[in-house]
Amino acid sequence: MTRIIIGLWLFLLAVAAAVVLVRLIRLRRARRGARLAAGPRRELLAFVADGAPADQIDVLAGLPQDLWAAAEPAAVAMLAKVRGEAHAGLVQVFRRRGVVDRALRELTRRSAVRRARAAELLGNLQASEAVPHLCRLLDDSNPEVRLVAVRALGRIGDPRAAWRLLASLARAHPLSAQMVAMALAQCGSGTEGALRAALGHPVLLVRLTTLDALGLLKAPSRSLIMLVAGVLRVDQSPEVRLAAARTLGSLGARDGVVPLLEVLDSDAASPIRAAAAKALGNIGSPIATEKLAEHVADVEYRIAHESAHALRRCGPAGLTYLQTLSMESAGVAGAHAREALAVAGLSTAAPHE
């Protein structure tokens, strides 16, 4: 029995000694890595601060492998934060050191963590050659890898990814619609063809996300705006019509005024009409003021409320209508008008008896 106890104690001591030894080795390696990285990190900071001078690109690209390995994590962190010339210079350094090729190989590893890290790095490097590989990751078995792939595709901003991003929404377990919309918007006007076709997609989530993406685009074509107006008029889904009204308001395009006025004055569901009124306010066109003033007296509270606040954002003509309503209406319309004027920081008048 005594021998067993002694054996156990010896075993525990051996385990404890092994643990201490491993920790000491790791600590020593960490300190050595910190010493090795100190110089290259200073070089990196100076490189970024100086706007990525060409001679420094050569210096960083030619660092010995052990020094670069110690400094690479700091370089990766900087890559995600800097913009302009500093970012372009860092990309050159990474490319010359073969980091892009290595990251492309990492995309096929069994480890989901390695695949995700590689996808994020390629996105930060804005490596357009990675687009087909990242599109395949949209079908990855790991949801985190799929999300990182969406972000990376958005960061690269290549329109070739548009259809694959949209198609990912039609699966049994779709990706985050908000992230897909942002990625599509980051791909720019080159996605218009895919977005135009996607407005007629049979899957509701695809149409909704397409409209969200269009609302984030800068200066879409007039034909695309009119197509959104057509969706507002005829789509069978109330959710899609609501999203279309919001998108026209986000775009701020004058071509959206007439279709929004038609919906506001129609028998569409109250949330859609209220969204149309708000969108008209976002566009801020004086053309809409007369019809908006009529709907400040709407029996539906939300429509009346949004119409009043839309008038507030339609410039002097809209404010004139609100002043008139505040003075002449003792009912609900006057109350909405006075509230909108108060938000605009203007004085209100009591209605005439």
- Note the pLDDT of residue 296: 93
- Note the pLDDT of residue 36: 44
30 CA to centre of own chain: 37
Could you tell me where the DSSP H helices lie in the chain? Answer: 2-49, 54-61, 65-79, 84-96, 99-106, 112-124, 131-137, 143-156, 162-167, 177-186, 192-198, 204-216, 222-234, 238-251, 257-264, 270-283, 289-295, 301-312, 315-328, 332-343
- Note the pLDDT of residue 353: 42
- Note the pLDDT of residue 31: 55
C-alpha distances out from residue 53 to 78, 97, 120, Å: 16, 17, 26
The rounded radius of gyration (Å) of the Cα atoms in the chain is 30
Quick: pLDDT tens for 190-213.
888 899 999 999 999 999 999 999
Give the CATH class of 221-353: mainly alpha
- Note the pLDDT of residue 157: 94
Sorted by sequence, the CB contacts under 8 Å of residue 311 that are 6+ apart come out as 281, 289, 292, 293, 296, 318, 319, 321, 322, 337, 340
User: How large is the angle between the packed helices 270-283 and 257-264, nearest 10 degrees?
Assistant: 150
- The pTM score is 0.79
C-alpha distances out from residue 288 to 17, 36, 213, Å: 81, 67, 26
- Note the pLDDT of residue 135: 96
The count of residues in the chain is: 353
- Note the pLDDT of residue 35: 47
- Note the pLDDT of residue 158: 95
- Note the pLDDT of residue 84: 84
Low-confidence stretches of the chain (pLDDT beneath 70): 1, 7-22, 24-53, 55, 347-353
